[in-house]
Structure 1
Amino acid sequence: MPYFQSTDDTTLAYEVYGSGAPIVFLAGWSLNTDMWEHQVPYFVERGYRCILLDRRGHGRSDRPADGYDNDTRADDVAALLEHLDIRDAVLIGHSGGGAEAVHYLARHGQDRIRRLVLVAAAVPKLSWSPDHPAGIPQAAIDASIAALCADRAKWMADRAQGYFATHLGNDVSPALIDQEVRRCLSAAPWAAKTMQRAIGDSDLRPDLAEITLPVLLLHGLADQSIPIGPTSHVAVQLLKDAELKEYPAAGHGLYVTHAAQLNADIAEFISA
């Protein structure tokens, strides 16, 4: 696995598969590059070059005490693209990775990216405010983070079935659910808790307004982790050139439960 140094000398890991037009994948909160195991083969077989980043505190990257704020995580994405001199790329982000993608574009510009795909992305804003009435009450966000800090393993286990919306008939084996929980627990606890707070406190509405390239939003209507109401339903209205595709029976783990549909939707969008 190759590594590079980010702007603050943090060592970050990344993976590259295939050749051809580049697709850069940003994993969701607490997850690492392995989450894309249902996407990478599909796109490599279709002639794309897949580039995957383990963010700081996740996967095989360094686990520093700081740098989990929006600016530094966006700078890490920029450092990867500069390290590999990636241009004319498709940028795909899931959950918190979607927030990183949006903030990267607002902070560093769109010169290296031609299209953006947001998968159940935590944008633009989770928390309620008078000008964002679809948001989640701050007390509920604070209670969730407190429960995460008190017993992270239980917090993950309690949400595992809902993550995949198995109550709607999605066929996900217990082994696969256990695997995904283990992947989440592999993140540095400090990184997971600090980044969760950053996601809960963010307001990326100004960032979305600056994005002019084509954007595809994919989101499950049964997503319990990042509800579609305060996020994609709002984001698609703020973006200048965007399309939202809703998956009625999908939860937050749609990259697994709806992998075939998700891959096909992304392929159609990026080949246009």
Structure 2
Amino acid sequence: MTSSFVTTKDGVEIFFKDWGPKDAQPIVFHHGWPLSSDDWDAQMLFFLANGYRVVAHDRRGHGRSSQVADGHTMDQYAADAFAVVETLNLRNAVHIGHSTGGGEVARYVSKHGQPAGRVAKAVLVSAVPPLMLKTDANPDGLPIDLFDGFRTSLAANRAQFFHDVPSGPFYGFNREGVTANEGVIQNWWRQGMMGSAKAHYDGIKAFSETDQTEDLKAITVPTLVLHGEDDQLVPIAQSALKSAKLLQHSKLKTYPGLSHGMLTVNADVLNADLLAFVKS
């Protein structure tokens, strides 16, 4: 390990940030697709100012972590997160995940965090579990054609695709009366283009086709589920409402009119609710 990287068992360098008192309770952040730990800037600064230790990493193939060809699966995402947690010896941690990062949190907590006794609470924000894809067992999911379209757009012109997503549905900037924030759009684009096209391409399968029903059922720690009611990318009825029912100790809060990217454009609202849950 260097000051900013953990090396996994398969030799991948995972970039991480670790700010704040080492004896304070750790808050660990897991970012969404195709972004990086920078997407949590507002939350990390907020919790740091409130006396917590804040940790966030770039998923393999994303941000500043190694752009390896393989391992872009929910299982490996969770294992990489555990490598960071073990290296930093984090205990009594609260794990907060957004979108694909919410899937990473669910797999991490169920397979690693709870068995190792290292997790206190979890938060799923606009998260993909239990399953996004429409299947025989999940008939109200989203069709495979939608995700195939993501792959086609990414392969054809990733730079344009990564501008169109934040300019439109991600933050709800395509809604009437909503003023787009160009800095937010450019920062999303910057984070996405830092990462690997291969990781992003494979990540679409990971976030859309991974069934995390059993992960959610296995989680015993208190879990907060937060979701915007106008989430155009991860519809609330297919994710948060189902997750809250599958979790053993869940608290659900939804936000009328808020978007998939509410943690950024509505950080003041989200931060207050996150802090209240952590302190509860």
Q: TM-score range by the shorter chain?
A: over 0.9
Counterparts of 2:9 and 2:240, CA distance in 1: 31
Contact in 1 for aligned 2:81/2:108 (Cα 8 Å): yes
Deviation, 1:16, is: 0.9
What letter corresponds to residue 6 of structure 1 in structure 2? T
Q: 1:11 aligns with which of 10, 13, 32?
A: 13
2:106 is matched with 102
Counterparts of 1:248 and 1:168, CA distance in 2: 15
Deviation, 1:53, is: 0.6
Counterparts of 1:59 and 1:99, CA distance in 2: 18
Q: 1:83 aligns with which of 59, 69, 87?
A: 87
Deviation, 1:109, is: 4.3
Deviation, 1:169, is: 4.5
* RMSD between aligned residues: 1.4
Contact in 2 for aligned 1:13/1:54 (Cα 8 Å): yes
Counterparts of 1:6 and 1:198, CA distance in 2: 19
1:184 aligns to 2:192 (yes or no): yes
Contact in 2 for aligned 1:171/1:257 (Cα 8 Å): no
Q: 1:244 aligns with which of 220, 234, 252?
A: 252
1:258 is matched with 266
2:243 is matched with 235
Residue deviations 1:34-86, cap 9 Å, x none?
11111111111111000011111111111111111121111101111110111
Give me the identity figure in percent: 35
Deviates more, 1:86-95 or 1:146-155: 146-155
Counterparts of 1:168 and 1:242, CA distance in 2: 33
SS in 2 for 1:86: coil
2:170 is matched with 163
Aligned residue pairs: how many? 272
Contact in 2 for aligned 1:250/1:257 (Cα 8 Å): no
Q: Give structure 1 regions of 4+ aligned residues with deviation exceeding 6 angstroms.
A: none
Counterparts of 1:109 and 1:266, CA distance in 2: 20
Matches within 5 A, 1:196-215: 196-215=204-223
1:53 is matched with 57
Residues 171 and 43 of structure 1: CA distance in aligned 2, closer, same or farther (over 3 Å)? farther
Deviates more, 1:132-141 or 1:68-77: 132-141
SS in 2 for 1:269: helix
Unaligned segments of structure 2, at least 5 residues: none
Counterparts of 1:93 and 1:107, CA distance in 2: 16
Matches within 5 A, 1:25-40: 25-40=29-44
Deviates more, 1:197-206 or 1:101-110: 101-110
SS in 2 for 1:37: helix
SS in 2 for 1:56: coil
Unaligned segments of structure 1, at least 5 residues: none
SS in 1 for 2:70: coil
Deviates more, 1:87-96 or 1:98-107: 98-107
Counterparts of 2:180 and 2:222, CA distance in 1: 32
1:73 aligns to 2:81 (yes or no): no
Counterparts of 2:264 and 2:77, CA distance in 1: 25
1:226 is matched with 234
When normalised by structure 2's length, the TM-score is 0.93
1:267 is matched with 275
1:151 aligns to 2:157 (yes or no): yes
Residues 264 and 97 of structure 1: CA distance in aligned 2, closer, same or farther (over 3 Å)? same
Residues 64 and 50 of structure 1: CA distance in aligned 2, closer, same or farther (over 3 Å)? same
Contact in 2 for aligned 1:168/1:249 (Cα 8 Å): no
1:22 aligns to 2:26 (yes or no): yes
